[in-house]
Structure 1
């Protein structure tokens, strides 16, 4: 579980990132969850954008992705989800202490 201090730190780190996944009208599916999990292992912090034509709720999609990948939702803002998961192989981000 991330503390507020850690979430604010990750929000600052994610500010310059571009979304690497988009959820469209096909919605959230198992293949996307696996791809997001692989991206989290490689990058630790990612942004996901929901397109206007999707039927998914942004917050619900964030929760489903977090549960499916073992990640944590850092922030949901507008149609963008920011996810964080500590990498086992490619540790890059050092979180502030709790």
Structure 2
């Protein structure tokens, strides 16, 4: 669980990132969560974009991704979800 100070720090780091995953009409599936988990291990911090044609609500999508990948939800802003998960091998970010 992240503290408010840690979330604020991660939001500032994520500001310049581009979303690398898009959730569309198919919603969240097992293959997508596997790829997101692998990307989180590599990058630690990433953005996921929820497209307009997605059948699920963006908060539902965020909940599904975080529960299946074990990541922490940093922020849901607009249609963008910011996720963080500490990497075991490629640790780059040091949380305050």
Give TM-score scaled by structure 2 length: 0.98
Q: SS of the counterpart of 2:87? A: coil
What's the C-alpha RMSD, in Å, of the aligned pairs?
0.5
- Determine if the alignment matches structure 1 residue 18 to structure 2 residue 12: no
Measure how far apart 1:56 and its partner are. 1.4
Residue 37 of structure 2 is matched in structure 1 by: 37
Give TM-score scaled by structure 1 length: 0.96
Counterpart CA distance in 2 for 1:56 and 1:21 is: 16
Deviating beyond 2 angstroms after TM superposition, the runs of 4 or more aligned structure 1 residues are: none
Residue 2 of structure 2 is matched in structure 1 by: 2
- Determine if the alignment matches structure 1 residue 89 to structure 2 residue 89: yes
Task: Please list every run of 5 or more consecutive structure 2 residues that lacks an aligned counterpart in the other structure.
Answer: none
Paired residues, what number? 96
Task: Please list every run of 5 or more consecutive structure 1 residues that lacks an aligned counterpart in the other structure.
Answer: none
Residue 59 of structure 2 is matched in structure 1 by: 59
Counterpart CA distance in 2 for 1:56 and 1:42 is: 27
Counterpart CA distance in 2 for 1:54 and 1:71 is: 21
Deviations 1:54-84 (A, max 9, x none): 1111111111101100100000001000000
Counterpart CA distance in 1 for 2:4 and 2:58 is: 21
